[in-house]
Structure 1
């Protein structure tokens, strides 16, 4: 049985933690059924922006160390790797308004999600249970992806730094989580969850460069997931988490037919 824990480390968000815990436990079987993935044990930590930024930067530093082990780095690479976690901490801190959740893993591999309540309040998420449900479902789906790929390429790649903006995996991950929320949330809260989502769209665009391009790519990714699952089924689709050769390219996110053709050729090749 999946163990879910929501801990308030801010000292002033006990009620929010309780509400999140209730939604997570209610949504878990729905998310497992919708995604076909087994949910891991999960910790959610409610933190202020400074603590969350530090914790996320520490995780990034650990990922960089892991993913550069055994690689011959140039002196410039070493310097970039050394300063990048500090840059991540600063960016995370200043972009708190547009950050809903930061997904990490602990030293023991336990999926953990860092959430800044002040960001949720700024985006009006805490005032709408349907929006909060969407966030919790996306959290569950994202960490299910992490477990399925054994944290090899999710929730964060440690190299190269800075990350390649054209890497399709972050878009696929976000699109899959969004798709899961679209499947599950109407079952739990039938009213239209788009009623207040303009708050979230505006907040996410603050202090973020190339927001339009990223939002378009995430929309393509969400549509890709829906069409790909419809074409090959959940079981076949979920092979990509364990077998990276089945992951779509950035171009294939816009053309599921091309991905399906390549997927079937790779699957049935001798």
Structure 2
């Protein structure tokens, strides 16, 4: 049983609290059925202002770095500190554009095995999420999947036992997390509305001028270089789930060795083939 709570922290935008509560009531059981993952006993969505988003997002980032530092030899501390300062510097430089304009939703670590999702109303308006109830439903479903992932991996601690850098979403971690959430939100909206609803393919006209100008920012453009973790991640996850099903796919959350390699990120079929082979091997071992 999952209790979903929406905290209204801005003093306005009360209508958004009602909408998110209604969507959560509908989406929670569908996300659980679609992903075949458990959700935390308490799911928290917070409606916050951009400044709160910035402070709490920065705290989440430094928290993961601290957990990473604790797993590394002490003599690595200076290098880790340098990386942290550089990362925070880049984040602070673009944070107003991210939290106040571009980021549709942000799910961070909460107490114990819980997570919490922050929604900034102004950013939802600029990004076009509020232009249709379909898109807000997609967003809530997407972030809710991150709650389930975080519960399964204990906020990546399961992976970190094998590879501490997983705490920083190194390697394929970000592709799997975002790709899985993207795959799931498409499945959830298809079940609810008869067809997938996808803001990523929506017409540019739903975005505000402020949003479109922010996307042209040089720092934002540099951050977006390289493979897109959402679209590319969805490709590899879709191929894998179609090959082994969501239940067997979920072994990746508790076994770091099952995450895709660099080569498999480029060739989704290869990762799917390996997951099939691993499933067959596990079944044969259990039978023996």
Q: Pick from 92, 101, 105 the counterpart of residue 105 of structure 2.
A: 101
Query: Post-superposition shift, 1:144?
Result: 0.9
Unaligned 5+ runs, structure 1 = none
Q: Where do 1:230-269 residues align within 5 Å? A: 230-267=242-279, 268=281
Structure 1 CA distance for aligned equivalents of residues 198 and 110 of structure 2 = 34
State the number of aligned residues: 267
What's the C-alpha RMSD, in Å, of the aligned pairs?
Answer: 3.1
TM-score (norm 1): 0.85
- What's the offset of the Cα at 1:108? 2.7
1:221 corresponds to which of 230, 233, 249: 233
1:203-259 per-residue CA deviation (whole Å, 9 max, x = no partner) reads 5845342536333x4323212222211111222111001111111123313323322
Matched, 1:91 2:106: no
Kindly indicate which of the two structures has a greater share of residues assigned to helix: 2
What are the ranges of 5 or more consecutive residues in structure 2 without an aligned counterpart? none
**CA gap 1:193/1:107 in 2 versus in 1, 3 angstroms:** closer
C-alpha deviation, 1:27, in angstroms: 0.8
| Distance in 2, Cα, partners of 1:123 & 1:43 | 22
Q: 3-state DSSP class of the match of 2:45?
A: strand
Aligned mates of 1:95, 1:193 — CA distance in 2: 23
Residues in 2 aligned to 1:246 and 1:160: alpha-carbon distance in whole angstroms: 16
**Distance (Å, rounded) in 1 between the aligned partners of 2:235 and 2:87:** 33
Deviates more, 1:221-230 or 1:257-266: 257-266
Q: Distance in 2 between matches of 1:90 and 1:160?
A: 24
Shift of 1:159: 6.7
Cα contact 1:47–1:114 (8 A) shared by 2: yes
Contact 2:244-2:275 at 8 Å conserved across structures: no
1:190 deviates by: 3.6
